[in-house]
Amino acid sequence: VSAIPHYSLQELALKLGLHLDGDPNLRITGIAPLDQAGSHQISFYSNRRYHQDLLSTRAAAVILRPQDAASCPVATLRSTNPYASYARLSQLFEPGRAVVPGRHATAQVDPEAEVDASAALGPHVVIGAGTVIAADVRIDANSVIGAGCQIGEGCHLHPNVTLYDGVTLGRHCIVHSASVIGSDGFGYAQERGRHLKIAQLGGVCIGDEVEIGAGTTIDRGALTDTVIGNGVKIDNQVQIAHNVRIGDNTVICGCSAIAGSSVIGNDCIIAGAVGIINHVTICDGVTVTAMSLVNQSITTPGVYSSGTGLSDSASWRKNIVRFRQLDELFRRILQLEKK
Amino acid sequence: VSAIPHYSLQELALKLGLHLDGDPNLRITGIAPLDQAGSHQISFYSNRRYHQDLLSTRAAAVILRPQDAASCPVATLRSTNPYASYARLSQLFEPGRAVVPGRHATAQVDPEAEVDASAALGPHVVIGAGTVIAADVRIDANSVIGAGCQIGEGCHLHPNVTLYDGVTLGRHCIVHSASVIGSDGFGYAQERGRHLKIAQLGGVCIGDEVEIGAGTTIDRGALTDTVIGNGVKIDNQVQIAHNVRIGDNTVICGCSAIAGSSVIGNDCIIAGAVGIINHVTICDGVTVTAMSLVNQSITTPGVYSSGTGLSDSASWRKNIVRFRQLDELFRRILQLEKK
Amino acid sequence: VSAIPHYSLQELALKLGLHLDGDPNLRITGIAPLDQAGSHQISFYSNRRYHQDLLSTRAAAVILRPQDAASCPVATLRSTNPYASYARLSQLFEPGRAVVPGRHATAQVDPEAEVDASAALGPHVVIGAGTVIAADVRIDANSVIGAGCQIGEGCHLHPNVTLYDGVTLGRHCIVHSASVIGSDGFGYAQERGRHLKIAQLGGVCIGDEVEIGAGTTIDRGALTDTVIGNGVKIDNQVQIAHNVRIGDNTVICGCSAIAGSSVIGNDCIIAGAVGIINHVTICDGVTVTAMSLVNQSITTPGVYSSGTGLSDSASWRKNIVRFRQLDELFRRILQLEKK
């Protein structure tokens, strides 16, 4: 089993590039929230909501802003962005699995695939013809990669991932289990009441440092590619239809559904269970709140919402009857105002 | 192929602990609804909606409340809870697959894993180092279990399930296909417009007798575990984010999405396609109706809803315009009332 | 790697049964939109929105209605339904993978299964006892088929698909990756606060020419089958619960959730992320728009919707407060009108 790493406080300060005020030899074995951390655990303070927890923390040390150091009863590591320092710290404590380069004996690699010698292919992995797998790629057990794919340097595909033919992943992407990239877009032509399948001839092109959650599906394009920009982060069970284009560093939370040919700008935040339809274009810097339906293009950065908010069901039942009469209501008020 | 079981009516009465009024030797080969059951099938009556069907049923026998026996034209098995008796009955008719203990020749089990001799591992199953698999566990074909997991006695994992490292399942859990447990929580720190990944160092801890539907995803915690209580039932395509806590015997229907750090009490019913966000806490005994968004904590047991109800699209289009003017409307009415 | 097909314009005209006006020997190597097509690509024109693109296209040829031919600067193929002709055309340009009939050496086929000699089973495929696989079926890598299934002629199952026991697929179905067919319906009986599992004894019966998207789940019936009609097209991440019945040629877009025992007619269009609950029946020819909740039966063909439409979040916050006061508002207006 993998060993969990540990460090001296001094080592952590060096690795994170932070000023340390405290015993450099303190041994740190893990990270914990301020109110739960013990004497060998490090914590962080970035949100004023937890000020009380800071005052009474028993952590070995706390990462915090210089101006908060005076309130801290224990050793400090000073950072202008403690939450980002925590992100870097968390990566240091990830239990390292010994990844053995090479192909597991049960992996099935097409003779026409090119797999870098440093790549690690797990049990029962299948790699199609013409696929190129770069250095330091890790593909976990039972994942299937189609033909003509390109997997960039340092990508990590978790178990049971499926890539169809013709999918390109940039460098340092992470793809979680049960996700599917490159499945057919949902396209049919009607002819006398039947649906004729439109073959989906485009591919999927994904940038660098993209993370794709578990159970997420990204369809291939109809004629041209579906395109995901650099640094995009996609949560679990997101559906991205054919020919969607997503700009750099946009974040898409769990269970959102993005219909075909939608265009989303850079630096957007699409919260959970959002629907985006009607071939809309969303400009850079837009936030859409949870469970909203975007059915028209958005041309001004800002925050957008739909829905009714939660009520007890008895009142809700009355109000939804009234919702159906809203237009009529406005006419009645107009009558009243005229009088 | 597996044989479908059959029983005499007498045997069924004994196994279910019910009083039989009818021919004990009648051979019962299956279960069917009241209006479809034939002369060797048993049925049940628990909902008054089907009273007409009871009167004319041709079933061999009917499970029903003692007070309903007089209306039944055929043999009866009397139960104070006929629907619960039907649940037990249904299990008796499940076609038993001969599960052979041991590891299929193609299963890949890490030498540092501990697998009970009575466990059955299907073809291409992969088990990581340090994982402990208890008695009578069944893991079906092509499922992948990470390192450091614990799978309690009598669990059944269907094909193509993925467990990441450090996932604990209690006893007698059922996990359906394409579900993923222990994938990374969706956590990033912002630094100059980029998203730094926060390593997800917690695990997932799941109680006894939990059922997890097909295509459901449960993320591991950031620092501490994501926790699912005993007897929780989770339907298909549910998303449970990092550090969610779900109380005992709560039911979550298909396609619901529960955002990070949500806390849900015991004995709740979360209907289908519900969204739960904003780190809310929901007390015990709450029901949330389908497609509602819970964006604030709920402290009183009861039924809660959101949404507008369905209309024909032409009226709906008019009413949603009015919805956007609602606040203005209230002001206009206030003006009218002042006059 | 697979070769991409190419054709002379004459060959395409013959294969599509269309009248050609242009150089029959022109070599066509692919399809592209009107504004992107080059001198060896064919395009199509079916939507007036792209009229400008038609006038300036540099495609080798365009498929269009006879009455539009005069506006086209290049060769034409005349069709009364250009979009349907495009669908047929797209299939001609699908890169053909050489599918080798037979079983990959790593496939695990139960001795009691019957697999047609023309069927192609990929690596690590698992086939259960009593399952019958017809001619020209293709089952891709790492898919698992339970016992007692029937897979009709010409079906294609992509990688990592799961079929439980007792699932029937008609002819020429396509099933995309990570989908699950035949998982247990979500059924429990309550007994003293606990949930007793109801064994799901029905199967799933799927018609001919059905396509099932990636990550879609279709549960088996409780006593009788879940039934999907002929020609039904189901997109990604759709959830279909036990005993749902879907009529012929109905289309269900991504992320919709259809609760148990719902009945949907023929020729319906269920848009994305729709919820259907309460055991409703929907008649033939109904369209439900995206993210609507259907909580009552629909007996008249037409278009139906729910939701509030999108606003900026600041106004939205005000309006949802008012939504909760709607019923009260109607009473206040009634008062005003009385005066």
ipTM for this prediction: 0.96
Per-residue pLDDT of chain B (339 residues; tens, 9 = 90+): 456 789 999 999 999 999 999 999 999 999 999 999 999 999 999 999 999 999 999 999 999 999 999 999 999 999 999 999 999 999 999 987 678 899 999 999 999 999 999 999 999 999 999 999 999 999 999 999 999 999 999 999 999 999 999 999 999 999 999 999 999 999 999 999 999 999 999 999 999 999 999 999 999 999 999 999 999 999 999 999 999 999 999 999 999 999 999 999 999 999 999 999 999 999 999 999 999 999 999 999 999 999 998 899 999 999 999 999 999 988 898 888 888
- Specify the DSSP class assigned to residue C89: H
> In the beta sheet, which residues pair with residue C62?
C43, C76
Distance CA A224, CA A220 (A): 8
Catalytically annotated residues of B:
242
Kindly state the greatest CA–CA separation across chain A.
86
Interface test with C, best of A204, A294, A308, A333 (most C CBs within 10 A): A308
* Structure tokens given for A5: 């790493």
Interface test with B, best of A162, A217, A304, A313 (most B CBs within 10 A): A313
Touching check for B156 and chain C: CB below 8 Å? no
Distance CA B264, CA A17 (A): 40
Residue with tokens 């026998």: B61
Other C-beta atoms within 10 Å of B103: how many?
Answer: 19
Sequence-ordered list of residues with C-beta below 8 angstroms from that of A120, at least 6 positions apart, any chain:
A99, A100, A101, A102, A137, A138, A139
Buried b (16+ CB within 10 A) or exposed e, A167-179: bbbbbbbbbbbbb
* Structure tokens given for A87: 């992100």
Residue A202, φ and ψ in degrees, nearest 5:
-80, 180
Touching check for A219 and chain C: CB below 8 Å? yes
pLDDT given at position C3: 66
Which H, E and C letters describe B189-217, residue by residue? EEECCEEEECCCCCCEEECCCCEECCCCE
pLDDT given at position B1: 43
> Residue A138, SS3?
strand
Distance CA A269, CA A288 (A): 6
pLDDT given at position B3: 67
Which one-letter amino acid corresponds to residue B160?
N
Pick from C31, C123, C178: CB nearest A223 = C31
Other C-beta atoms within 10 Å of B52: how many?
Answer: 10
Instruction: Pick the range with the lowest mean pLDDT from A17-26, A216-225, B213-222, C98-107.
Output: C98-107
> Residue A162, SS3?
strand
Pick from B91, B291, B307: CB nearest C199 = B91
Q: Judge residue B183's burial from the number of C-beta atoms within 10 Å of its C-beta, 0-12 exposed, 13-18 middle, 19 or more buried.
A: buried
Contact between C268 and C285 under an 8 Å Cβ cutoff? The reply is yes
> In the beta sheet, which residues pair with residue C133?
C115, C151
Instruction: Pick the range with the lowest mean pLDDT from A26-35, A44-53, B305-314, C229-238.
Output: B305-314
* Among the listed residues B234, A164, A215, the one whose alpha carbon sits nearest the alpha carbon of residue C216: A215
Distance CA A209, CA B191 (A): 15
pLDDT given at position A1: 43
Pick from C112, C162, C293: CB nearest B177 = C162
3-state helix, strand, coil in chain C (%, to 5): 15, 30, 55
Sequence-ordered list of residues with C-beta below 8 angstroms from that of C79, at least 6 positions apart, any chain:
C16, C18, C63, C64, C65, C85
Distance CA A307, CA B307 (A): 6
Buried b (16+ CB within 10 A) or exposed e, C286-314: bbbbbbbbbbeebeeeebbbbbbbbbebe
> Residue B327, SS3?
helix
Distance CA B38, CA A306 (A): 51
Q: Do C304 and B324 touch (CB under 8 A)?
A: no
> In the beta sheet, which residues pair with residue B239?
B217, B257
